[in-house]
Amino acid sequence: MTKLMQWLCGFALLGSGWAALVLTVPGQQLPAPLREALLPLPLYLLVAFGCYSLATVGYRLATFNDCEEAASELQEHIRAARADLRRRGLRFGPQ
């Protein structure tokens, strides 16, 4: 199961549970304080998801590894390609 499917299943479960509690049969209403707490719950969950997403992106950015050997290998490939193009007559701008 992909991560997207996991999130969608979680949202579907939470959404159906929320709808079952909020959209009750008219004769069986929830107490007013509980109903007032349940109504903005999707907004709270959306804000929590946004905070989780920002924290995850920030953590992944902070722990991102530099690949020095890959960077030097790429620079060497660029130098070789430029040399080959110069040999074939292509002129580059000021360097």
Residue 91 clears pLDDT 70, i.e. is over it = yes
Cα 58 from Cα 72, distance rounded (Å): 27
pLDDT of the residue at 27: 77
Chain segment 5-23, per-residue pLDDT in tens? 998 999 899 899 888 888 8
The model's pTM:
0.57
* Alpha-carbon distance values, 15 to 21, 44, 58 (Å): 10, 13, 28
Token pair listed for 11: 């949202």
pLDDT of the residue at 95: 59
pLDDT of the residue at 53: 95
Cα 45 from Cα 51, distance rounded (Å): 10
Residue 32 clears pLDDT 90, i.e. is over it = no
